[in-house]
Structure 1
């Protein structure tokens, strides 16, 4: 157990931005929420072994797509979502965790934890960011035996889009309802879901996911004074990742659809072209010869070569010079969610590409 600090906030956002894989929120939002947490309380980071097996943990998250232009998520909305679960759950909540790392999502639960006296659990539903709630549902996406409870809060009261919603049912059905609520609220909404005992977290989560992001963030901050190239080299070394290519963004064709950002980004690199497939996050990269270079659940990140920092899908622009970076899934802890074949079909349908054969058969993934 240790008390989280302002340095941890900064490091979590820096490291989380790599695992964000082009999504996972926004740097400014992560810093704002993280520092707000420390201004009202002293959230503590606990390992999964520091609580009894029957202690109940909630997942805190934000649902939506960065291109949604009329959303509003305030700190109180994250707290309210957790309060709604507490009010409607027949049991005591001991702690919170995040479903994924990201520019702000690494810090998702820190503010409710500080405000409500809960622990922050050092585990993630997925080490990297992902587009659907099912991909961070700790192996429960297809379960019809587990009745979950999920809650959302957010939107703009001044235009009538603010809403609070509590739903109970199977993870798959309730996740779809929350995605619709996010769209109706303007494109993003704060959420809490899936009260589960810590023994389930131990078995199904990516253990240590928060510490991994914080450690990477510290490495990045140490390298920043030496310039962009030093940051890239430090990230590659720390993560055992690799640069797939450096070049110019030639085409960005990403559109907002039902609380998702979907499309492709093309990058011209020496002697070939890379195509990055986007559904909120980067889900796959291929080249113009039809070779798949990397695929979810690999970590896939774009770096702004001028700044040496991760750049999100929403901030990538045509003409920008970027590096495309990947960490093989064998180099990171994987949760049960990304090993569940039922979480892939809806994403494959929207993207129009195969993910499962690459995600589950490493020999079919070819790296440049």
Structure 2
């Protein structure tokens, strides 16, 4: 969904004044993952103050021969809470990947719209003085690198460049995106479970086909809508559901939480005891960096690839998976993902079966998929 479709305008650059709304909206779209939006917002503001505003370019404006190198963090978000990003070496991944194919990056972009991973590309764009694309490669956040639109169009996550805060760098050349994920995940563990990575380098022509256009502007619009609801004493959760084109699933209090960092991911389950209209019901949330499955009293409510979002019950401020706490009063929402995720190929990459949940895919409105979920080559 683009900002033109929802609000009729589009930003031409990102300034310090845009960052708070962008961070809020990106964390909401990130479905619990993508890193801490607060820390990312501080880094983005600092970069803009040092280097100036970042030019924001729509996918439609890209020249065919533009060379785009996206960037994000890879690792477990629980680690990033204690091991804060040090961005002085951030640009290394873009430069290393571009050099590995004898090109120079003309643009950068978000690998995923979510939390800190929407802020880091702003930092990189400011550092390198190149434009940022108004879009990303997922339309939400997902835990594994191969879970992007690009593989649906034959664009693989290889070569890939990684860097850590010490300046260690690594270029991975794999046979496909799945192997790139496996190698990169192990490398990120050795880098302290929190590293920077660039992958899915592509041309402007390829980006017009494979990007989720307008997601950065849409995130700002979401953040603005929540802030406006707070300021005008409206119902922020209701406004958020309307802005997303989704619905509120559950209102309640976190009554149990199991979470562990394993294999380079934050995995776990949260139980949310119903309040108000949902008193007497319990919602179960399953996550792997991002929220992937929601059941209420044993019945599936919504599943990946659609968005499952947790926000503060009163303010609708996003609550990421690493910041879930016992006793929090939260509102759980769901909203539709990009329709390409509901194709056979999309579900094979990121449906609930991939994560081993053993339930059929359900859309955000609670209805099962029209076609059975396929059994792919790779399973978590």
Query: Under a length normalisation based on structure 2, what TM-score does the superposition of the two structures give?
Result: 0.84
* Counterparts of 2:305 and 2:168, CA distance in 1: 32
CA distance change for structure 1 residues 166 and 203 in 2, over 3 Å: closer, same or farther? same
* Counterparts of 2:259 and 2:76, CA distance in 1: 11
* Counterparts of 1:133 and 1:90, CA distance in 2: 23
* Counterparts of 1:217 and 1:177, CA distance in 2: 35
Partner of 2:66: 55
* Counterparts of 1:361 and 1:230, CA distance in 2: 21
State which of 317, 327, 330 in structure 2 corresponds to 1:322: 330
Where does the alignment leave 5 or more consecutive residues of structure 2 unmatched? 1-10, 371-380
Query: 1:94 aligns to what SS in structure 2?
Result: coil
* Counterparts of 1:28 and 1:174, CA distance in 2: 29
CA distance change for structure 1 residues 76 and 359 in 2, over 3 Å: closer, same or farther? farther
The answer to whether the Cα contact below 8 Å between 1:72 and 1:186 also exists between their aligned partners in 2 is no
CA distance change for structure 1 residues 30 and 335 in 2, over 3 Å: closer, same or farther? farther
CA distance change for structure 1 residues 5 and 335 in 2, over 3 Å: closer, same or farther? farther
Q: Deviations over 1:52-106 (max 9, x none)?
A: 1121111111111112266453112321211212322222321111121112222
User: Per-residue deviation at 1:230?
Assistant: 2.8
The answer to whether the Cα contact below 8 Å between 1:134 and 1:337 also exists between their aligned partners in 2 is no
CA distance change for structure 1 residues 362 and 251 in 2, over 3 Å: closer, same or farther? closer
* Counterparts of 1:6 and 1:36, CA distance in 2: 9
State which of 155, 158, 167 in structure 2 corresponds to 1:148: 158
Partner of 2:282: 273
* Counterparts of 1:108 and 1:338, CA distance in 2: 32
Where does the alignment leave 5 or more consecutive residues of structure 1 unmatched? none
Q: Which has the higher strand share?
A: 1
Query: 1:194 aligns to what SS in structure 2?
Result: coil
User: Per-residue deviation at 1:198?
Assistant: 1.6
Partner of 1:352: 356
Please state if 1:103 is matched with 2:115: yes
Partner of 1:364: 368
Partner of 1:287: 296
* Counterparts of 1:236 and 1:308, CA distance in 2: 10
CA distance change for structure 1 residues 147 and 29 in 2, over 3 Å: closer, same or farther? closer
Query: Under a length normalisation based on structure 1, what TM-score does the superposition of the two structures give?
Result: 0.87
User: Per-residue deviation at 1:146?
Assistant: 5.1
* Counterparts of 1:338 and 1:198, CA distance in 2: 26
Paired residues, what number? Answer: 353
CA distance change for structure 1 residues 103 and 354 in 2, over 3 Å: closer, same or farther? same
